[in-house]
Amino acid sequence: MIARAFGPSDVQRLCGQILDEVERAVVGKRDAAELVLLGILAGGHVLLEDVPGVAKTLMVRSICDATGMSYSRIQFTPDLMPADVTGSSFYDAQRATLEFRPGPLFANLVLGDEINRAPPKTQSALLEAMQEHQVTADGTSHVLQAPFAVVATQNPIEYEGTYPLPEAQLDRFLVRVTLGYPDRGSEQELIERRAARGSEEAGIRAVVDTEEVLAMQAAVEAVEIDGAVASYLVDVVRATREASGVQLGASPRGSVALLQAARARAAIAGRSFVLPDDVKAMSVPCLAHRVALRPELWLRGVKAAEIVQRCLASVPVPVGWNNDGETQSEPVHPGHSPSPSP
């Protein structure tokens, strides 16, 4: 049960405090951490894709600690079975009944580490949980506790012993986030902090609890979107289906994901309305992993993110908004953000 209603200003303040705590452990990756947090507040799931050793797992654990949510980690391996993820029923000899023992999916924040190392049968065990927020075992459905989010990681450069995620499962992730290597200053700060701390743990404190996370999610749902901005969002998504060299564009689920991510970005910025800039900022994280390219494009090294950027440049941006959400009379050229009023 939600303790009280939150507004965009509350979401902005609390998210700032959460990210401050996360930065105590993960240095120089505030934008990426904000994207992960944004995905959770939008009620979706996040795919973290990057090389080993760039703090993917640490970031997820830090966000979990700062939000006061329960945490579970699943290490995906080729021999992992679906029941190892969802849980299974055991025979209770004393009661002569089947007893369901929940698996690691029964937590608020589930980290699926190296998800592409598990076979498709195990990967598919996540689909029902991610989409329906429930697990079915022996004909009985078990509802997962809210809030619930899956953050999965995978290594994009190592393919030996892996099973690439199918498009149907990629489509379940609201956003895909890459961290990248830190710049030199951030990496030096990381070393100095670790040396001064004297232990591996950074001591992340909980800024909010699960009830407040639910209240923040409710505040995101209350963010409004103008008809012109909604039309712009739809045009961007549809452009990915019509772009040259695209085999499969973003689905209507991608449109809804982009809406939710844009609303979450607006709430984190302290606004109760979506700007075209929110749609533009979230288009690549929300849509690039939903775009499948024809072989001739990926053989030339073209990335799906580049296609999404081209779509953004080709779709006319609606009339600009000022900081109060009021429309302005001057049109905005395609591919350029509206200039906010002073």
Query: Does residue 337 fall inside a structural domain?
Result: no
DSSP β-bridge partners for residue 97: 92
Amino acid at 26: V
Give the Cα separation of 259 and 233 in Å (integer).
8
Residue length of the chain: 342
Q: Find the mean pLDDT for residues 146-172.
A: 82
H or E element at residue 264: helix 252-268
164-183 tens-digit pLDDT: 787 878 888 999 999 888 89
User: Looking at residue 342, what is its pLDDT?
Assistant: 32
CA separation (Å) from 62 to 50, 70, 113, 205? 18, 12, 15, 9
Identify whether 264 is part of a domain. Answer: yes
In a domain, 342, yes or no: no
Any domain includes 36: yes
Mean pLDDT of 100-104: 89
More confident residue, 317 or 1: 317
Residue 262 pLDDT > 60: yes
Q: What is the mean pLDDT of the chain?
A: 87
Q: Are 149 and 195 contained in the same domain? A: yes
Q: Which of 43, 124, 46 is nearest to 85 (CA)?
A: 124
Six-digit token string for 185:
């200053």
Is pLDDT of 280 > 50? yes
Domain count, the chain: 2
Q: Which pLDDT score, from 0 to 100, does residue 320 have?
A: 63
Mark whether 72 and 126 lie in a shared domain.
yes
Are residues 234 and 138 part of one domain? no
**Coil, helix or strand at residue 143:** strand
| Cα gap 93→206, rounded to integer Å | 42
Residue 113 domain-assigned (yes or no):
yes
Token digits for 241? 């289906």
Please tell me the predicted confidence (pLDDT) of residue 331.
41
Are 246 and 104 members of one domain? no
Question: What is the pTM (predicted TM-score) of this model?
Answer: 0.87
The rounded distance, in Å, linking the Cα atoms of 123 and 136 is 15
Among 61, 22, 28, 20, which Cα is nearest to 180's? 28
Q: Which two tokens stand for residue 197?
A: 């701390």
Whether 335 is covered by a domain: the verdict is no
For residues 206 and 227, state if they share a domain.
Answer: no
Contact 105, 85 (CB under 8 A): yes
CATH number, residue 125? 3.40.50.300
Q: Residue 125's closest CA among 98, 147, 97, 152?
A: 152
User: How is 155-213 classified by DSSP, letter by letter?
Assistant: -SS--TT--PPPHHHHTT-SEEE---PPPHHHHHHHHHHHHHH-SS---PPPSS-HHHH
* pLDDT per position as a tens digit, 29-45: 999 999 999 999 999 99
Q: What is the pLDDT of residue 137?
A: 77
The DSSP code sequence of 287-312 is HGGGPEEPHHHHHTT--HHHHHHHHH
Domain-embedded: residue 336 = no
Residues 190, 239, single domain; the answer is no
On whether both 198 and 228 belong to a single domain, the answer is no
- Which of 184, 213, 242 is the last residue in one of the domains? 213
- 290: domain range? 223-314
Q: Is residue 181 part of a domain?
A: yes
> Which pLDDT band, with edges at 50, 70 and 90, does 55 fall under?
confident
| In a shared domain, residues 188 and 269 | no
Residue that wins the pLDDT comparison between 23 and 159: 23
Pick from 193, 213, 233: which residue ends a domain? Answer: 213
User: What's residue 278's pLDDT?
Assistant: 96
In this structure, are 147 and 239 located in the same domain?
no
First to last CA, the chain: 40
Q: State residue 272's pLDDT score.
A: 95
Same domain, 278 and 178: no
Which pLDDT does position 338 carry in this prediction?
A: 42
Tokens 């999916």 found at: 105
Helix (H, G, I), strand (E, B) or coil at 85: helix
Q: In the chain, what is the greatest distance between 2 CA atoms, to the nearest angstrom?
A: 76
Instruction: Examine the domain organization and report whether 284 and 160 are in the same domain.
Output: no
Burial of 213 (0-12, 13-18, 19+ CB in 10 A): buried
CATH code of the domain containing 230: 1.10.8.80
